[in-house]
Structure 1
Amino acid sequence: MRWEALFADLEAQLAAQSAAELDVEIAELTRAERATVAIADRLRAAQDVVLTLRLRGGSAVEGLVLDVAPQWVLLGEHGRRALIPLAAIATVGGLGRQAAPRPGAVEGRLTLGHALRALARDRVLVQIDLEGVELAGRIERVGADHLDLAVGHGARVGDLLAVPFDGLRAVRSR
């Protein structure tokens, strides 16, 4: 009987050690998986959720998540649309813990330039928020790292301001 109890005790110790090792391995794999999640993946999982984005420079935008790409998020706010470069976001409020899978090949290549070119093509009147400055007009051209904005309602193409993408905080439809 003593031998059986000794072997049962050794088996229980081995099972407990194996379970502890498995718990450590699961925790390590979870941390490694979380390290691959980008903010765009979490924003995509928040589709149709109202979020509050605090932007660099201190302003805030609150709206319903309509679309997300690797470089931008599109929010619906009070009947308007706000295109926010991810690089302009300081914090996100209201975001859950979920993450969506990585985007497909085509969606993964949609840059901020693509979204801005669509606004230029459609001749949309926009309000552009820069840090401490707001500009209104039409996007006339979009380059690799900047856009040309015809300022004002009756702006001529000669009245253009070049706006680097790095300075953009939000681009709102008017």
Structure 2
Amino acid sequence: MRWERLFEDLEAVVREQERQELEAEVADRTRRERALLGLQERLTACYGTGVEVELRVAGVGVLRGPVTDVGADWVLVQEHPDHPVLVAYPAVRALVLPAARLAPTGAVARAFALGAALRAVSRDRSVVDVVDVDGHRVTGTVDAVGRDVLDLAEHPADLPRRSANVRTVLTIPFAAVAAVRRR
């Protein structure tokens, strides 16, 4: 009887050690997988879910709404039904997600960067508000987009982009862009 008890105790010790090793391995793998997930991957997990996220953006403040598109270095948040906001990743100060963890959706971020997204805005000729990381807001039309800058023809929002309506043309480095709101 004493031998049986001794062997049962040894088996229990071995099972406990195996359980602890498995828990440690799972925790280590989870940490490694999370280490590979950046801002883009977290935003991509929100894309198409309809889940409202909160972005704290330098110079802008808090934006709330569903993620409607994600790119290499930008995200599009549908703050209001007719006013999506294009946000540059460097301006994001915090992303607040719902308490429930979002599972990967299989969505993939667009491969093009902020410059390509701004070129699409330029082609569209929409009147936009460009907010920089310091909170300065300028209204106008994106005239041109360079390698790392955009040229914005500043004019009143209620007037079309015509030479007579343009106050100035600003060259804004991408690094200074926090958000671009279509009017």
**TM > 0.5 fold call:** yes
Residue 88 (structure 2) aligns with: 85
| Structure-2-length-normalised TM-score | 0.84
| Structure-1-length-normalised TM-score | 0.87
Residue 21 (structure 2) aligns with: 21
Q: Structure 1 unaligned segments of length 5 or more: list them.
A: none
1:114, distance to aligned residue in structure 2 (A): 1.1
- Deviation string 1:35-76 (CA, Å, 9 cap, x unpaired) is 111111111222322222111236222222111123111011
Give the alignment partner of residue 141 of structure 2, picking from 138, 141, 144: 138
Q: Does the 8 Å CA contact 1:85/1:169 hold for their aligned counterparts? A: yes
Specify the code of the residue in structure 2 equivalent to 1:56: A
2-structure distance, mates of 1:103, 1:147: 29
Q: Does the 8 Å CA contact 2:53/2:65 hold for their aligned counterparts? A: yes
Residue 181 (structure 2) aligns with: 172
Specify the code of the residue in structure 1 equivalent to 2:88: P
Paired positions, count: 172
Q: Percent identity?
A: 39
Give the CA RMSD over aligned residues: 2.2
The structure-2 alpha-carbon separation of the partners of 1:146 and 1:102, relative to structure 1 and needing over 3 Å to count, comes to farther
Matching of residues 60-139 of structure 1 within 5 Å: 60-78=62-80, 79-95=82-98, 96-98=100-102, 100=104, 104=108, 107-130=109-132, 131-139=134-142
Q: Does the 8 Å CA contact 2:71/2:110 hold for their aligned counterparts? A: yes
2-structure distance, mates of 1:128, 1:57: 10
Q: Structure 2 unaligned segments of length 5 or more: list them.
A: none
- Deviation string 1:83-102 (CA, Å, 9 cap, x unpaired) is 00111111122345335378
Q: Does the 8 Å CA contact 2:65/2:78 hold for their aligned counterparts? A: yes
Specify the code of the residue in structure 2 equivalent to 1:17: Q
1:5, distance to aligned residue in structure 2 (A): 2.0
